[in-house]
Amino acid sequence: MEPEQFNAVWNTGLDGPLLRFDAEALEAVPLTEEARRFLIEAGLPGDSAPYLEFRSGEGTLSDLKTAFGMPKEYSAYWLLGTTGYGDPVCLKAGSSQVVCIRMEQGGTEWFINSSVPQFAEFLLVYAELVQRTIRENGPDAFLENEIPPDTLKWVVREFGRIDPAAFAQGTFWRQEVEERLRR
């Protein structure tokens, strides 16, 4: 997904504004050109389902070693935001990969997406999941996990199409969908 496409499709009225990253602040960050361009031109939402927050850097990125005083090996992770559990959501240095550092599991890396554009597209799909659920089953339906089966099947297909690696067993998105199926 190109930044322009994401900007055109993201519903700021419903899902909030996009927070763009400062080009100058990203110069020293070891990212792929694809990730850099996407963060500058499109950005990320301040908040997004499922319980993700990207406001912490206010348009800049810092590594986890600097941001949280973590050991040196965490300087390879650049903080984008956090999960609802407070775990850092990061870009992996030298790549466009989005990962989560699971603090309650000893600071282990948990794969989210292969690239920033694919991550953004997953956020769009998930936002649509929430809206379809609310339209079909009422304002509290998503929170009560009353997701229409056809909508959940659609999400699974879309995730598999956009970034198959991100929907493999044991990944962030796979666990999110499996939790929805168990409830």
Whether 52 and 83 have beta carbons less than 8 Å apart is answered as yes
58 pLDDT above the threshold of 80: no
The number of distinct structural domains making up the chain is: 2
Last residue in a domain, options 114, 148, 173: 114
**Segment among 57-61, 92-96, 101-105, 160-164 with least mean pLDDT:** 57-61
* Same-domain pairing of 40 and 57: yes
Q: Is 173 helix (H, G, I), strand (E, B) or coil?
A: helix
Domain boundary among 96, 114, 132: 114
172-182 and 149-162 are packed helices; what angle lies between their axes, rounded to 10 degrees?
170
Helices and strands (DSSP H and E) totals, the chain = 8, 8
What is the three-class DSSP state of 110? Answer: strand
Q: Are residues 107 and 141 in the same domain?
A: no
Q: Report pLDDT for 28.
A: 87
Answer whether residue 57 shows pLDDT above 80.
Answer: no
The per-residue pLDDT for 115 is: 97
Q: What is the pLDDT of residues 25-50, one digit of tens each?
A: 899 899 999 999 999 999 999 999 99
How far is it, in rounded angstroms, from Cα 118 to Cα 173?
Answer: 12
Statement to judge: residues 26 and 62 lie in one domain: yes
Domain carrying residue 79:
3-114
User: Span 131-149, mean pLDDT?
Assistant: 94
**pLDDT recorded at residue 182:** 72
Shared domain for 14 and 103, answered yes or no, is yes
Tell me the C-alpha distance between 74 and 63, whole Å.
Answer: 7
Identify the CA nearest to 58 among candidates 99, 9, 17: 17
Give the residue with greater pLDDT, 78 vs 60: 78
Average pLDDT, the chain: 92
93 and 124 housed in the same domain: no
